Amino acid sequence: MILLSTSPPPEHYITFWVSRGYESKKYHVLCSQSLDAHIMNTSDDNIIRTDLRPVAHHFQSMRDDVAVATLSIMASRGQGNRSIEVYTDGACPNNGREGAQAGIGGHFPDNPRMDFSKPAAGRQTNNSAEIQAAAEAIERAKEHGYSGVKVKTDSEFLTKAANEWMGNWKSKGWTKADGGPVKNREDFQRLDRAREGMDVRFEHVRGHQGNPGNEQADKLARQGASRRY
């Protein structure tokens, strides 16, 4: 079932404009599950526009408008129901040694165009790279209009930090239970900012066990470590 309305949009909707001559009108479409599923799996506005034409055409009063319709997906499109899964990894082949260089990688199975591979910034360590990779992935998801992210990482340290420790660290001015400073504070603060306004969940996966998503993220992170800014 698809409903058309000009009233304030419900939770699961897409906003677009239909133009005729010099006049344009803003519509909110409450989508069926099938259309929602498509929108959740693409960030390509051209694809979304193509799929919305039949939706508009569904309404007899809009038939004449379809040919000249300007469908513009607003920044708020799908928020509240768009989520994506990402595998992240950090690599530092010479971790702990002088001259070590780290890299970060992220693989989005449902939208590989969002993948990334780049050198890590700041501290060149494995843990720092793991945190930066997660922050980068969440930031990219947010930029593409997603409101939820499931971060899959083979770093137990990152998983526990994100799920259990960060809240306490932040409430205590980014200090640990013993009063000492949190290592990689700047990286964790970036991760904390990235999570604001997002539904973010961290899940630990076993590394180097043939998981395609994890293997791709590892490959991208290693490629990033081999580059230099």
Q: What is the pLDDT of residues 2-52, one digit of tens each?
A: 334 444 444 445 555 544 444 445 555 544 433 443 333 333 333 333 344
What mean pLDDT comes out for the span 176-192?
Answer: 95
Burial class of residue 42, CB neighbours in 10 A (0-12, 13-18, 19+): middle
Q: Is residue 212 part of a domain?
A: yes
User: Does residue 121 sit in the same domain as residue 177?
Assistant: yes
Whether residue 206 has pLDDT greater than 80? yes
Question: Does residue 113 have a pLDDT over 80?
Answer: yes
Specify if 77 maps to a domain.
no
Q: What is the DSSP string of 87-108?
A: EEEEE-TTTTSTT---EEEEE-
Residues 45 and 132 in one domain: no
**Domain co-membership, 53 together with 91:** no
Domain that holds residue 87: 83-225
Q: Are residues 154 and 125 in the same domain?
A: yes
Q: Are residues 137 and 106 in the same domain?
A: yes
201 with 119, same domain: the answer is yes
Looking at the structure, tell me whether residues 90 and 48 fall in a common domain. no
- Spatial distance between the Cα atoms of 181 and 179, rounded to a whole number of angstroms: 7
115 and 212 fall within a common domain:
yes
Place of tokens 């990033």: 224
Alpha carbon separation from 146 to 51, 66, 100, 141, 224 (Å, rounded): 19, 28, 34, 5, 25
| Overall pTM surpassing 0.75 (yes/no) | no
Q: Is residue 118 helix, strand or coil?
A: strand
Q: Judge whether 74 lies within some domain.
A: no
Q: Which residues are bridge partners to 4 per DSSP?
A: 29
pLDDT in the model for residue 171? 95
The rounded distance, in Å, linking the Cα atoms of 80 and 15 is: 14
Higher pLDDT among residues 106 and 34, named by residue: 106
Note the pLDDT tens digit of each residue in 56-99: 444 434 433 333 332 333 333 444 458 999 999 999 998 888 88
| Mean pLDDT of all residues in 194-216 | 94
Query: Distance (Å, rounded) from C-alpha 110 to C-alpha 115?
Result: 10
Q: Distance from first CA to last CA of the chain, Å, rounded?
A: 51
Question: How many domains does the structure of the chain reveal?
Answer: 2
Task: Mark whether 121 and 187 lie in a shared domain.
Answer: yes
pLDDT of residue 210: 86
The residue out of 20, 41, 66 marking a domain boundary is: 66
**119 DSSP β-pair partners:** 103
- So what's the pLDDT on residue 34? 39
Domain shared by 135 and 188, yes or no? yes
Q: What is the pLDDT of residue 82?
A: 87
The answer to whether residue 55 scores a pLDDT higher than 70 is no
140-180 residue pLDDT tens:
999 999 999 999 999 999 999 999 999 999 999 999 989 99
Residues 184 and 89 both lie in one domain = yes
CATH number of 191's domain: 3.30.420.10
Asked if residue 213 is part of any domain, the answer here is yes
Backbone phi, psi, residue 105, to 5° = -145, 150
How many C-beta atoms surround the C-beta of residue 214 within 10 A?
21
| The pLDDT value given to residue 94 | 86
Q: What is the token pair recorded at 28?
A: 């909110």
pLDDT, residue 14, reads 54
pLDDT of residue 227: 84
pLDDT at 211: 92
Q: Are residues 43 and 87 in the same domain?
A: no
The answer to whether position 55 is within a domain reads yes
